Amino acid sequence: MKTLTAKPGRSCKPPYVPASERLTLGQLQDAYDELAHGYEKRIWFDQVVLGVARQRRRLMPRAHGKILDVACGTGLNFPFFPAASEVTAIDVSQHMLDVARQKAESLGLGIQTQVMDAENLEFADGVFDTVTSSLSTCTFLDPVQALSEMKRVTRPGGLILLLEHGHSNLGWLANLQDRNVLQHYQQNAGCRWNQDPLQLVEEAGLDIMESRRFGLGMFYAIVAGK
């Protein structure tokens, strides 16, 4: 395993996963297919202790109208979408979608699910009132491309709601993330946990309207427009 050198306290970019170590889309798909049934147990600490579940409950009810949930995973956002909305959910992993479909059925929600690559959304421009995505930019091969696609399919005046994680603003934790970036990536299905989600959102040309950090400064709730 390669060792990446963290540079604590320096004003340069933190160490990222080198291109040679990155998973392909097919490998990511396989990794999430395998993880699907244990996924919710695996993210229990983030959900319960670091407050992700609470923030889903707070952010996702702001979605309205025609909603697209990108990289929906097992459908953890589904319970919080308003009852009157029309939801489409996509993910690259069929097995994650199978769990999501079961969740939608058990909640009595008529949610359309489809296997699709977030970086090449098969929807026309501006067809959704709200696009949501959670814990996903850390996993996308090209997060700026995926965010640009979310922007493209959102109608003018629509909302993009993101719940993401990245580099903490606590020095000790940011250093720990940097030191373990490759190990974390390899053990967590291609999760790059020391990115800066706000920077990615800006690079994709979205207009950040609100953002707040929580969960030891590692998580971000972002409301953006196009």
Of the candidate residues 136, 137, 154, 168, the single one contacting ligand SAM (CB under 6 A):
136
Total number of residues binding ligand SAM (CB under 6 A)?
19
Helix, strand, or coil (residue 24): coil
Of the candidate residues 21, 98, 119, 202, the single one contacting ligand SAM (CB under 6 A):
119
- Contacts with ligand SAM in 86-105 (CB under 6 A)? 91-93, 96
Of the candidate residues 63, 71, 162, 200, the single one contacting ligand SAM (CB under 6 A):
71
Nearer to ligand SAM, 146 or 174 (CB): 146
Binding to ligand SAM by residue 117, rule CB under 6 A?
yes
Are 159 and 215 spatial neighbours (Cβ–Cβ below 8 Å)?
A: no
| Cα 70 to Cα 63: distance, rounded to the nearest angstrom | 13
Sheet of 219-225, strands arranged across: 112-115, 86-91, 66-70, 128-134, 154-165, 219-225, 207-214
Binding segment for ligand SAM (CB under 6 A), chosen from 80-88, 114-122, 150-158, 194-202, is 114-122
Are 56 and 48 spatial neighbours (Cβ–Cβ below 8 Å)?
A: no
Binding to ligand SAM by residue 72, rule CB under 6 A?
yes
Give the 3-state DSSP-derived string for 89-101, with helices as H, strands as E and coil as C.
EEECCHHHHHHHH
Short-list 78, 106, 72, 107, CA closest to 92: 72
Q: Which residue has the tokens 């080198």?
A: 18
Site string for ligand SAM, 178-217 (x = CB under 6 A): ----------------------------------------
Which residue number places its CB atom closest to ligand SAM? 73
Give the binding site for ligand SAM (CB under 6 A): 25, 28, 32, 71-73, 76, 91-93, 96, 117-119, 134-136, 139-140
